[in-house]
Structure 1
Amino acid sequence: MATTWKLDPAHSELTFKVKHLVITTVTGYFRSFDGTIVTEDESDFTTGKVDFTIDTASIDTNQAQRDEHLKSADFFDAEKHPRITFTSTAIETKSEREFLLHGDLTVGETTKPMKLDVELGGTVTDPYGNFKVGFEVSGNMSRKEFGLTWSAVTEAGAVVVSDEVKILASVQFIKQA
Protein backbone atom coordinates (compact mmCIF):
# COMPACT_ATOMS: atom_id res chain seq x y z
CA MET A 1 0.00 0.00 0.00
CA ALA A 2 1.35 3.43 -0.97
CA THR A 3 2.75 5.48 1.89
CA THR A 4 3.33 9.23 1.83
CA TRP A 5 6.09 10.81 3.91
CA LYS A 6 6.21 14.59 4.48
CA LEU A 7 9.35 16.51 5.42
CA ASP A 8 9.69 17.55 9.07
CA PRO A 9 11.35 20.97 8.64
CA ALA A 10 11.96 21.40 12.40
CA HIS A 11 14.31 18.41 12.34
CA SER A 12 15.91 18.82 8.93
CA GLU A 13 18.70 20.93 7.45
CA LEU A 14 20.05 21.59 3.99
CA THR A 15 23.61 22.87 3.66
CA PHE A 16 26.12 23.49 0.91
CA LYS A 17 29.87 24.03 0.92
CA VAL A 18 31.94 25.84 -1.68
CA LYS A 19 35.63 26.76 -1.79
CA HIS A 20 36.45 30.45 -1.53
CA LEU A 21 39.79 31.66 -2.93
CA VAL A 22 40.78 27.96 -3.05
CA ILE A 23 41.99 28.20 0.57
CA THR A 24 38.82 28.02 2.70
CA THR A 25 35.34 26.62 2.58
CA VAL A 26 32.20 28.72 2.95
CA THR A 27 29.18 26.92 4.35
CA GLY A 28 25.68 28.04 3.53
CA TYR A 29 22.16 26.93 4.30
CA PHE A 30 18.77 27.04 2.71
CA ARG A 31 16.36 27.83 5.55
CA SER A 32 13.11 27.07 3.73
CA PHE A 33 12.51 23.83 1.84
CA ASP A 34 9.89 21.10 1.54
CA GLY A 35 9.83 17.50 0.44
CA THR A 36 7.65 14.46 -0.03
CA ILE A 37 8.46 10.79 -0.49
CA VAL A 38 5.85 8.33 -1.76
CA THR A 39 6.76 4.66 -1.30
CA GLU A 40 4.91 1.52 -2.37
CA ASP A 41 5.47 0.10 1.12
CA GLU A 42 6.32 1.92 4.36
CA SER A 43 9.40 -0.21 4.95
CA ASP A 44 10.86 -0.24 1.42
CA PHE A 45 12.40 3.10 0.50
CA THR A 46 13.89 1.72 -2.74
CA THR A 47 10.39 2.14 -4.23
CA GLY A 48 10.29 5.82 -3.28
CA LYS A 49 9.45 8.77 -5.48
CA VAL A 50 11.08 11.90 -4.06
CA ASP A 51 10.05 15.50 -4.72
CA PHE A 52 12.01 18.30 -3.04
CA THR A 53 11.62 22.07 -3.35
CA ILE A 54 13.94 24.78 -2.04
CA ASP A 55 13.03 28.44 -1.55
CA THR A 56 15.91 30.15 -3.36
CA ALA A 57 15.59 33.38 -1.38
CA SER A 58 16.08 31.47 1.90
CA ILE A 59 19.83 31.18 1.25
CA ASP A 60 21.90 32.03 4.34
CA THR A 61 25.71 32.09 4.44
CA ASN A 62 25.83 34.09 7.67
CA GLN A 63 26.90 37.18 5.70
CA ALA A 64 24.07 39.44 4.48
CA GLN A 65 26.00 41.12 1.66
CA ARG A 66 27.06 37.76 0.20
CA ASP A 67 23.50 36.42 0.57
CA GLU A 68 22.10 39.37 -1.40
CA HIS A 69 24.71 38.74 -4.13
CA LEU A 70 23.73 35.06 -4.27
CA LYS A 71 20.05 36.02 -4.62
CA SER A 72 20.88 38.43 -7.47
CA ALA A 73 20.95 37.73 -11.21
CA ASP A 74 24.70 36.98 -10.89
CA PHE A 75 23.75 33.68 -9.25
CA PHE A 76 20.23 32.36 -8.44
CA ASP A 77 18.12 35.32 -9.61
CA ALA A 78 15.73 34.48 -6.77
CA GLU A 79 13.13 37.01 -7.87
CA LYS A 80 12.80 35.39 -11.31
CA HIS A 81 13.46 31.82 -10.12
CA PRO A 82 12.04 31.46 -6.60
CA ARG A 83 12.38 27.67 -6.43
CA ILE A 84 15.04 25.00 -6.92
CA THR A 85 13.52 21.56 -7.45
CA PHE A 86 14.67 17.94 -7.35
CA THR A 87 12.53 15.07 -8.64
CA SER A 88 13.76 11.51 -8.37
CA THR A 89 13.93 9.22 -11.38
CA ALA A 90 15.40 6.05 -9.81
CA ILE A 91 16.88 4.62 -6.62
CA GLU A 92 19.79 2.17 -6.65
CA THR A 93 20.54 -0.01 -3.65
CA LYS A 94 24.20 0.05 -2.62
CA SER A 95 23.69 -1.82 0.68
CA GLU A 96 20.92 -2.38 3.20
CA ARG A 97 21.16 1.25 4.41
CA GLU A 98 22.87 3.01 1.49
CA PHE A 99 21.33 4.13 -1.77
CA LEU A 100 22.12 6.15 -4.85
CA LEU A 101 19.28 8.55 -5.61
CA HIS A 102 19.00 9.59 -9.25
CA GLY A 103 16.94 12.60 -10.19
CA ASP A 104 16.51 15.82 -12.11
CA LEU A 105 17.73 19.01 -10.45
CA THR A 106 16.34 22.31 -11.74
CA VAL A 107 18.14 25.54 -10.91
CA GLY A 108 16.84 28.58 -12.74
CA GLU A 109 16.01 27.51 -16.28
CA THR A 110 18.43 24.56 -16.30
CA THR A 111 17.49 20.96 -15.52
CA LYS A 112 20.18 18.31 -15.35
CA PRO A 113 20.43 14.77 -13.97
CA MET A 114 22.01 14.45 -10.54
CA LYS A 115 23.04 11.60 -8.28
CA LEU A 116 22.94 11.81 -4.50
CA ASP A 117 24.32 9.38 -1.94
CA VAL A 118 21.69 8.54 0.67
CA GLU A 119 22.16 6.78 3.99
CA LEU A 120 19.09 5.53 5.85
CA GLY A 121 19.36 6.58 9.49
CA GLY A 122 16.41 4.45 10.53
CA THR A 123 12.78 4.70 11.54
CA VAL A 124 11.26 5.50 14.93
CA THR A 125 8.04 6.63 16.56
CA ASP A 126 8.58 9.98 18.29
CA PRO A 127 7.10 10.88 21.72
CA TYR A 128 4.04 12.37 19.98
CA GLY A 129 3.16 9.20 18.07
CA ASN A 130 4.59 10.29 14.71
CA PHE A 131 6.33 7.53 12.76
CA LYS A 132 9.49 9.03 11.25
CA VAL A 133 12.35 8.11 8.95
CA GLY A 134 15.71 9.87 8.75
CA PHE A 135 18.26 10.18 5.96
CA GLU A 136 21.71 11.69 5.46
CA VAL A 137 22.13 12.91 1.88
CA SER A 138 25.28 14.09 0.10
CA GLY A 139 26.40 14.93 -3.39
CA ASN A 140 28.38 17.31 -5.57
CA MET A 141 27.34 19.55 -8.41
CA SER A 142 28.99 21.88 -10.88
CA ARG A 143 27.38 25.26 -10.35
CA LYS A 144 28.40 26.36 -13.84
CA GLU A 145 26.43 23.50 -15.42
CA PHE A 146 23.32 25.09 -13.90
CA GLY A 147 24.04 28.58 -15.23
CA LEU A 148 25.61 29.88 -12.01
CA THR A 149 28.62 31.18 -13.88
CA TRP A 150 29.58 34.36 -12.02
CA SER A 151 33.29 34.31 -11.38
CA ALA A 152 36.18 36.52 -10.48
CA VAL A 153 39.93 36.01 -10.26
CA THR A 154 42.32 37.55 -7.74
CA GLU A 155 45.44 39.44 -8.77
CA ALA A 156 47.44 36.28 -8.09
CA GLY A 157 45.15 34.26 -10.38
CA ALA A 158 43.14 32.40 -7.71
CA VAL A 159 39.49 31.69 -8.42
CA VAL A 160 37.18 33.50 -5.97
CA VAL A 161 34.43 30.83 -5.99
CA SER A 162 35.00 27.22 -7.00
CA ASP A 163 32.80 25.46 -9.53
CA GLU A 164 32.19 22.40 -7.34
CA VAL A 165 29.50 22.71 -4.69
CA LYS A 166 29.07 20.04 -2.01
CA ILE A 167 25.50 19.41 -0.93
CA LEU A 168 24.67 17.93 2.48
CA ALA A 169 21.25 17.31 3.96
CA SER A 170 20.06 15.71 7.16
CA VAL A 171 16.33 15.16 6.80
CA GLN A 172 13.46 13.59 8.71
CA PHE A 173 10.14 12.66 7.16
CA ILE A 174 6.86 11.94 8.93
CA LYS A 175 4.56 9.15 7.74
CA GLN A 176 1.19 10.59 6.78
CA ALA A 177 -2.07 8.94 7.85
Structure 2
Amino acid sequence: MPQSPQTPPAAVQRLLADGAGAGAWALDPASTSVRITSKSMWGLVTAHGTFKEVAGEGTLGADGAVEGLLTLGAASLDTANAKRDKHLRSADFFDTDNHPEIVVRVSGNANGADDATADGLPLSAEATVKGTTRVLPVTAAVAPEGSGTDAVRLTVRTVVDHRTFGITWSPMGMMKPHTDVAVEAVFRRA
Protein backbone atom coordinates (compact mmCIF):
# COMPACT_ATOMS: atom_id res chain seq x y z
CA MET A 1 0.00 0.00 0.00
CA PRO A 2 1.55 3.34 -1.00
CA GLN A 3 2.42 5.73 1.78
CA SER A 4 0.76 9.09 1.91
CA PRO A 5 2.93 12.10 1.11
CA GLN A 6 4.77 13.63 4.06
CA THR A 7 7.05 16.54 4.69
CA PRO A 8 10.70 15.99 3.79
CA PRO A 9 12.73 14.04 6.39
CA ALA A 10 14.15 16.17 9.22
CA ALA A 11 17.73 15.96 7.89
CA VAL A 12 16.57 17.37 4.56
CA GLN A 13 14.49 20.07 6.26
CA ARG A 14 17.63 21.30 8.08
CA LEU A 15 19.55 21.51 4.80
CA LEU A 16 16.71 23.38 3.12
CA ALA A 17 16.12 25.85 5.93
CA ASP A 18 16.95 29.29 4.59
CA GLY A 19 18.97 27.64 1.80
CA ALA A 20 21.49 26.36 4.37
CA GLY A 21 22.46 23.37 2.24
CA ALA A 22 22.42 25.08 -1.13
CA GLY A 23 25.62 24.74 -3.10
CA ALA A 24 28.16 22.17 -4.20
CA TRP A 25 28.83 18.92 -2.38
CA ALA A 26 31.71 16.48 -2.91
CA LEU A 27 31.59 12.73 -2.37
CA ASP A 28 33.87 11.50 0.40
CA PRO A 29 35.24 8.25 -1.13
CA ALA A 30 36.79 7.08 2.15
CA SER A 31 33.38 7.18 3.87
CA THR A 32 31.39 5.81 0.92
CA SER A 33 30.64 2.23 -0.04
CA VAL A 34 28.92 0.69 -3.05
CA ARG A 35 28.20 -3.00 -2.60
CA ILE A 36 26.47 -5.56 -4.77
CA THR A 37 25.06 -8.98 -3.99
CA SER A 38 24.10 -11.55 -6.60
CA LYS A 39 23.04 -15.19 -6.58
CA SER A 40 24.62 -17.81 -8.80
CA MET A 41 24.72 -21.59 -9.05
CA TRP A 42 20.91 -21.55 -9.32
CA GLY A 43 20.60 -19.49 -6.15
CA LEU A 44 22.83 -21.70 -4.00
CA VAL A 45 25.84 -19.32 -3.89
CA THR A 46 25.69 -15.64 -2.98
CA ALA A 47 28.49 -13.44 -4.32
CA HIS A 48 29.23 -10.16 -2.53
CA GLY A 49 31.32 -7.41 -4.06
CA THR A 50 32.48 -3.88 -3.29
CA PHE A 51 33.59 -1.20 -5.73
CA LYS A 52 36.93 0.12 -4.48
CA GLU A 53 37.04 3.19 -6.77
CA VAL A 54 34.22 5.67 -6.24
CA ALA A 55 33.99 9.37 -7.05
CA GLY A 56 31.16 11.84 -7.19
CA GLU A 57 29.71 15.24 -6.66
CA GLY A 58 26.35 16.86 -6.16
CA THR A 59 24.52 20.13 -5.93
CA LEU A 60 21.55 21.24 -3.89
CA GLY A 61 19.72 24.29 -5.16
CA ALA A 62 18.08 26.83 -2.88
CA ASP A 63 14.79 25.62 -4.40
CA GLY A 64 15.55 22.02 -3.34
CA ALA A 65 16.67 20.79 -6.78
CA VAL A 66 19.09 17.90 -6.37
CA GLU A 67 21.63 16.78 -8.96
CA GLY A 68 24.41 14.30 -8.42
CA LEU A 69 26.96 12.13 -10.13
CA LEU A 70 28.46 8.86 -8.90
CA THR A 71 31.26 7.22 -10.88
CA LEU A 72 32.51 3.71 -10.15
CA GLY A 73 35.66 2.13 -11.52
CA ALA A 74 34.15 -0.98 -13.12
CA ALA A 75 37.41 -2.93 -12.78
CA SER A 76 37.60 -2.05 -9.08
CA LEU A 77 34.82 -4.51 -8.15
CA ASP A 78 36.30 -6.82 -5.52
CA THR A 79 34.47 -10.03 -4.60
CA ALA A 80 37.42 -11.56 -2.69
CA ASN A 81 37.80 -14.17 -5.45
CA ALA A 82 40.48 -13.29 -8.04
CA LYS A 83 39.18 -15.73 -10.67
CA ARG A 84 35.61 -14.41 -10.38
CA ASP A 85 36.84 -10.79 -10.41
CA LYS A 86 38.77 -11.42 -13.63
CA HIS A 87 35.65 -12.92 -15.21
CA LEU A 88 33.55 -9.93 -14.07
CA ARG A 89 35.98 -7.63 -15.92
CA SER A 90 35.56 -9.64 -19.15
CA ALA A 91 33.09 -9.00 -21.98
CA ASP A 92 30.75 -11.58 -20.35
CA PHE A 93 30.02 -9.02 -17.63
CA PHE A 94 31.34 -5.43 -17.34
CA ASP A 95 33.75 -5.44 -20.33
CA THR A 96 36.04 -3.06 -18.45
CA ASP A 97 38.53 -2.73 -21.33
CA ASN A 98 35.82 -0.96 -23.35
CA HIS A 99 33.68 0.42 -20.50
CA PRO A 100 35.97 1.35 -17.59
CA GLU A 101 33.34 3.32 -15.66
CA ILE A 102 29.85 2.83 -14.35
CA VAL A 103 28.17 6.23 -14.18
CA VAL A 104 25.03 7.12 -12.24
CA ARG A 105 23.41 10.55 -12.64
CA VAL A 106 20.80 11.42 -10.04
CA SER A 107 18.16 14.14 -10.03
CA GLY A 108 15.20 15.04 -7.87
CA ASN A 109 13.70 17.69 -5.65
CA ALA A 110 14.39 17.68 -1.92
CA ASN A 111 11.69 20.33 -1.45
CA GLY A 112 8.99 18.06 -2.81
CA ALA A 113 6.77 17.53 0.21
CA ASP A 114 4.37 15.76 -2.14
CA ASP A 115 7.06 13.24 -3.07
CA ALA A 116 8.96 12.66 0.18
CA THR A 117 8.04 9.64 2.27
CA ALA A 118 9.13 8.30 5.62
CA ASP A 119 11.63 6.19 3.64
CA GLY A 120 13.33 9.23 2.15
CA LEU A 121 13.49 11.17 -1.07
CA PRO A 122 12.45 9.65 -4.38
CA LEU A 123 15.09 10.27 -7.01
CA SER A 124 15.59 9.43 -10.64
CA ALA A 125 18.86 7.61 -11.26
CA GLU A 126 20.15 7.29 -14.81
CA ALA A 127 22.72 4.47 -14.74
CA THR A 128 25.15 3.69 -17.56
CA VAL A 129 26.64 0.21 -17.34
CA LYS A 130 28.58 -1.45 -20.16
CA GLY A 131 27.53 1.34 -22.53
CA THR A 132 23.80 0.95 -21.86
CA THR A 133 21.82 3.63 -20.02
CA ARG A 134 18.64 2.92 -18.07
CA VAL A 135 16.55 5.04 -15.69
CA LEU A 136 16.07 3.56 -12.25
CA PRO A 137 13.72 5.07 -9.68
CA VAL A 138 15.37 5.02 -6.26
CA THR A 139 14.65 6.37 -2.81
CA ALA A 140 17.47 7.86 -0.76
CA ALA A 141 17.34 7.95 3.02
CA VAL A 142 19.10 11.13 4.16
CA ALA A 143 20.82 11.54 7.51
CA PRO A 144 23.30 14.04 8.88
CA GLU A 145 26.87 12.77 9.06
CA GLY A 146 28.22 14.13 12.30
CA SER A 147 26.85 17.35 13.69
CA GLY A 148 25.72 20.39 11.75
CA THR A 149 24.92 20.62 8.08
CA ASP A 150 28.38 20.13 6.57
CA ALA A 151 28.00 16.44 5.71
CA VAL A 152 25.13 14.10 4.84
CA ARG A 153 24.83 10.37 4.30
CA LEU A 154 22.59 9.10 1.54
CA THR A 155 21.54 5.45 1.79
CA VAL A 156 20.09 3.76 -1.27
CA ARG A 157 19.05 0.13 -1.62
CA THR A 158 17.74 -1.11 -4.93
CA VAL A 159 17.50 -4.21 -7.09
CA VAL A 160 18.72 -4.09 -10.68
CA ASP A 161 17.93 -6.54 -13.46
CA HIS A 162 21.43 -6.71 -14.92
CA ARG A 163 20.09 -8.16 -18.18
CA THR A 164 18.70 -4.70 -19.07
CA PHE A 165 22.32 -3.51 -19.21
CA GLY A 166 23.38 -6.29 -21.57
CA ILE A 167 24.87 -8.47 -18.84
CA THR A 168 23.26 -11.74 -19.86
CA TRP A 169 25.95 -14.39 -19.35
CA SER A 170 24.27 -17.30 -17.57
CA PRO A 171 25.05 -20.78 -18.86
CA MET A 172 22.17 -23.16 -18.12
CA GLY A 173 20.39 -20.35 -16.25
CA MET A 174 22.82 -20.51 -13.34
CA MET A 175 22.83 -16.72 -12.71
CA LYS A 176 19.82 -15.12 -11.09
CA PRO A 177 18.78 -12.02 -13.12
CA HIS A 178 18.70 -9.57 -10.22
CA THR A 179 21.53 -7.86 -8.39
CA ASP A 180 21.03 -6.12 -5.06
CA VAL A 181 22.82 -2.76 -4.86
CA ALA A 182 23.55 -0.98 -1.56
CA VAL A 183 25.00 2.53 -1.58
CA GLU A 184 26.14 4.43 1.51
CA ALA A 185 27.34 7.75 0.11
CA VAL A 186 28.73 10.53 2.27
CA PHE A 187 28.77 14.00 0.75
CA ARG A 188 30.59 16.92 2.32
CA ARG A 189 30.13 20.58 1.57
CA ALA A 190 32.58 21.50 -1.21
Q: State the TM-score, normalized to the length of structure 2.
A: 0.80
Counterpart selection for 2:152 from 133, 145, 148: 133
> C-alpha distance in 1, partners of 2:49/2:146?
29
> C-alpha distance in 2, partners of 1:170/1:61?
18
1:55 aligns with 2:73: yes
Secondary structure in structure 2 of the residue aligned to 1:162: coil
Counterpart selection for 2:34 from 14, 34, 38: 14
> C-alpha distance in 1, partners of 2:118/2:186?
18
Amino acid at match of 1:19: K
**1:120 match:** 142
Q: Which has the higher helix share?
A: 2
C-alpha deviation, 1:124, in angstroms: 3.2
1:26 aligns with 2:26: no
1:165 aligns with 2:179: yes
Q: State the TM-score, normalized to the length of structure 1.
A: 0.85
**2:3 match:** none
Partners of 1:97 and 1:121 within 8 A in 2: no
Distance 1:97 1:39, change over 3 A: farther
Q: How many residues align?
A: 165
When the two chains are superposed, the root-mean-square deviation of aligned CA atoms in Å is: 2.0
Stretches of structure 2 that go unaligned for 5 or more consecutive residues are: 1-18
1:72 aligns with 2:93: no
Partners of 1:139 and 1:166 within 8 A in 2: yes
> C-alpha distance in 2, partners of 1:172/1:90?
17
Secondary structure in structure 2 of the residue aligned to 1:73: coil
**2:161 match:** 142
> C-alpha distance in 2, partners of 1:171/1:87?
14
Amino acid at match of 2:26: K
C-alpha deviation, 1:162, in angstroms: 1.0
**1:156 match:** none
Q: Which has the higher strand share?
A: 1
> C-alpha distance in 1, partners of 2:132/2:119?
31
> C-alpha distance in 2, partners of 1:77/1:174?
32
